[in-house]
Amino acid sequence: MITYSKHYINGAWQSAASQAIFEVHDASTEEVMATVPQGTADEASQAVLAARAAFPAWSALSVEERCQFIDKIVVGLKARTDEMANAIAREVGMPIKMAKMIQVGGPVFNWGNAAKVARAYHYEEKVGNSLVVREPIGVVGCITPWNFPLNQITLKIAPALAAGCTVVLKPSEIAPVNAMILADIIHEAGLPAGVFNLVNGAGPVVGEVLASHPEVDMVSFTGSTRAGKRVAALAAETVKRVTLELGGKSASVVLPDADLAAAVKGTLAACFLNSGQTCSAHTRMLVPESSYEQVKALLQAGIAKYPLGPSLAEDSRLGPLITSMQRERVLGFIQTGLDEGAELIAGGTAKPAFDKGYFVQPTALRVKPDDTLAREEIFGPVLVVLTYKDEDEAARIANDTIYGLGGGVWSATDEHAIAFARRMRTGQVDINGAPFNGNAPFGGYKQSGNGRENGKYGFEEFLEHKAIQLKPAEKT
């Protein structure tokens, strides 16, 4: 077990003021793998003031000078990939092979890409008699989740730093070990004191300071819609810029001309990634009524190919959920679905054959549009299937949600799929299982949030516009 007793404030590891700690559990064994200190409101404020003091000098550096620091962070991350992947696999539950590729490989790309975007970006343009410039917004408070912890940290602090902002990070108290490793890497890269700060803590304590502090210019939050509303309300008091990446209930729409086998395989992959603990997971599968029995058989066969196992086992395809509370929450949703009359296609509430670990069987149920499972974000390995009569009804069902983060469309032709995708009120739509694009904007409509991450779109969130009006030259 690793014991952390410090926060990273103003360029140094500072002993925590409080003796209170958070225990971090190995999701596969339920054992305590680490402890981190519970930060106080005063420590969060100290970090904010350190970031404020560092901002003028950091923002005055050239883009190239800032990006050279980021290049060093990339080197440090690559060198500690195995350590980082092991930590995330244990604290989150994603199988080690996928953790190395997705939970660490993705952030390595995104750190490097932030520097690439910053170096290529055009910060000034002439518009009539105005010089329009883009400048860093200032001090950014970053509040990040536990499901893809390092990647969501990276998508905030890497572009913020590249843009010339200084940051205070509050990582998830459930999966903070990766953030502590990253802070060590950032320290070794030699960033000036105060440019990057990390304070572990609870949302109602440290998170609320970041959202409300008058010296924070922007808060970037990823997490639940409920918590995002609280962050936005607090930030409104000082009129901060707010970016929110919140919940989802994404639809995978199988059109009548689709390849059913490919659609089922792709939907299961998009639903079960990280044991369903993914905000953009395709958790609602919409299929034509006439195809349901075929889809049901394909789902049963497909789900059988998702063996559960401990996250550090090389042959595990589906790991445990992150905590016992999350496991009970997901099992409760499955039971609610059954109580409301859902048809169980595969899986269910029976305990998997493991003595330890927060495991839930991969599950699929047929539900109706108004059922709880069709509307609530479950955040576990649970797929719900809904049937439709025609494409107009499919579009209505797909859009009948408070969320709008991801989605997919399956069809024999891209043209047909794209036409349907244009009808979906959601921030990202995958056509026939197309891969994720780290340079395309990621974010949601409706209560899935505000703002975008990834590539130049995420980078621009950390910049302000300034118009410098120039007096036109006098005519002679």
Write the DSSP assignment of 300-347 as a string of letters: HHHHTT--B--TT-TT-SB---S-HHHHHHHHHHHHHHHHTTPEEEE-
- Residues paired with residue 252 on neighbouring β-strands, in sequence order: 285, 408
Nearest one of 422, 381, 380, 376 to 403, comparing CA atoms: 376
* Contact indicator for 26, 35 with CB cutoff of 8 Å: no
Nearest to 438 by CA among 423, 452, 455: 455
Cα 310 to Cα 165: distance, rounded to the nearest angstrom: 40
DSSP assigned state of 473: P
Q: Which among 43, 271, 279, 461 is annotated as catalytic?
A: 279
Residue 442 DSSP one-character state: B
Is residue 279 annotated as part of the catalytic site, yes or no? yes
Q: Per the residue annotation, which of 43, 91, 208, 245 is the catalytic one?
A: 245
122: CB partners within 8 A, 6+ apart: none
Q: Would residue 271 show up in a list of annotated catalytic residues for this protein? A: no
Give the C-alpha separation, 470 to 127, whole Å: 10
Strands of the sheet with 124-127, listed across from one edge: 124-127, 130-136, 463-469
Which residues carry out catalysis? 245, 279
